[in-house]
Amino acid sequence: MNPSLIAAGFFFAAVLIAIGYFIGRRRRKVTKSIPEGPIIQEDERQRMLGLLEGLSRWTNEYSGNVSNYQSELGELSDAMRISLHQSRSGAARNGRANENQQASDARMVTLINQIMSTNTELQTRLEAAEQQLEEQTEQIQSYLTEARTDGLTGLFNRRAFDKKLDEMFSAYRAGGKSFTLILMDIDHFKMINDTHGHPIGDVVLQQISQRLGHGMQDAEIVSRFGGEEFAILTYLPIRAAADKVNKLRDRIANDSIEAGSAELQVTLSVGLSTPHEDLVIGPIVRRADEALYSAKNMGRNRVYFNDGNGAQLINAPEVVRS
């Protein structure tokens, strides 16, 4: 068999493998996981719609590039088959095999060069397309992250927390596991802002958030509930959760926070609750609030829990006896 035909065959196989590789890579890029987002509000829905419309326009253009490339390859392949057929027919008619073979080889070289040029052009387009697709994906991921995250502290925001609470309560009502809601508040935070200024207050919020995140890594969600208040959801039983958060509260109270030139002792008041034959979420949040206010009213820097039997101080003698 003519070496040129063998080379052409290997080249076509390489082209097909390259196409499969590039398209496969892009499919994997497109299916990159995106974290589940919160319920989208109207203004955010419009922003997301704009992102998706941009992505749709780009994918249509990309699809057209690949379609055009496949069409060009088909035309070149047909032309090569015609060239081979003409060469063989000419050799059969007049026996001028060498002359026809040379003409056929020249035609195939031209066609192969055209294929290589087309392949190079598509590769350039694919590389540009990959970069654009990654940028589009990063924009959507960034939007979803912003929609679920508190900008100052990096914790989940109130919206993400409410969504998680709804999910866990629905699962509980369907026969799933119980859970514990933890609400906590930075004591005398207004005084910190008034005395040292809001930038120092922001540093305090960031430092406390970091310590809560590290101290409650096994929680389902740690969030900034609003202002100086934080909310946590965990599957730990309420007394185990109260004990754990009490130890964390004690570490924070005994470890000063450096903010600029100030060195502050910051304490937390904490309230916990758990579902107690509740049909809706409201009573669970209300009991945690009651426990939190008990902690504040009884001197702050302490943990109270409410398991449906009223607010109780963690590690209080009456609790230990029970």
Write out the catalytic residue numbers.
228
Query: Is the separation of the CB atoms in 119 and 19 below 8 Å?
Result: no
Backbone angles phi, psi at 182, to 5 degrees: -120, 125
CA distance 137 to 93: 60
Distance of CA 41 to the CA centre of its chain: 19
Q: Is the dihedral of CA 278, 282, 284, 287 positive or negative?
A: negative
Query: Is the separation of the CB atoms in 126 and 62 below 8 Å?
Result: no
CA distance 278 to 272: 15
H or E segment to which residue 290 belongs: helix 282-297
CA distance 64 to 57: 11
Longest dimension (CA), the chain: 113
| Six-digit token string for 243 | 């004990």
CA distance 60 to 132: 13
CA distance 31 to 227: 37
262-264 vs 268-273, strand pairing mode: unpaired
Q: Taking the CB of residue 213, how many other CB atoms lie within 10 A of it?
A: 16
Q: How many CA atoms lie within 13 A of 283 on its CB side?
A: 12
What does each C-alpha distance from 75 to 68, 82, 111 come to in angstroms? 11, 11, 10
Angle at 177 between CA 289 and CA 273, to 5 degrees: 15
